[in-house]
Structure 1
Amino acid sequence: MAMRVAKYRIGQVVRHRVYPFRGVIFDVDPVFNNTEEWYDAIPEDIRPARDQPFYHLLAENGESTYTAYVSEQNLLAEDNPRPVQHPELAEMFDARKDGVYISRTLRPH
Structure 2
Amino acid sequence: MTVRPVSPAEAPSTATFTIGDVVRHRVFPFRGVIFDVDPVFNNTEEWWESIPEAIRPRKNQPFYHLFAENEESAYVAYVSQQNLLPDGEGDPIAHPGVTQMFSGRTNGRYQLRDQIRN
Name the TM-score, length of structure 1 as normaliser: 0.93
**Other structure's SS at 1:25 match:** strand
Partner of residue 26 from structure 2, selected from 12, 17, 33: 17
Picking from 35, 44, 61, the partner of 2:44 is 35
Q: Distance in 2 between matches of 1:59 and 1:105?
A: 22
Aligned sequence identity (%): 60
Q: SS of the residue aligned with 2:96?
A: coil
Residue equivalent to 2:77: 68
Q: Report SS of the residue matched to 1:45.
A: helix
Bigger radius of gyration, 1 or 2?
A: 2
| RMSD of aligned alpha carbons | 1.2
Runs of at least 4 residues off by over 3 Å: none
Report how far residue 5 of structure 1 moved. Answer: 1.5
Task: Tell me the distance in 2 between the aligned counterparts of 1:59 and 1:34.
Answer: 18
- CA distance in 1 between counterparts of 2:107 and 2:74 reads 23
Matched position secondary structure for 1:38? helix
5+ long unaligned stretches in structure 2: 1-5
- Which ranges in structure 1 are unaligned for 5 or more consecutive residues? none
Partner of 2:63: 54
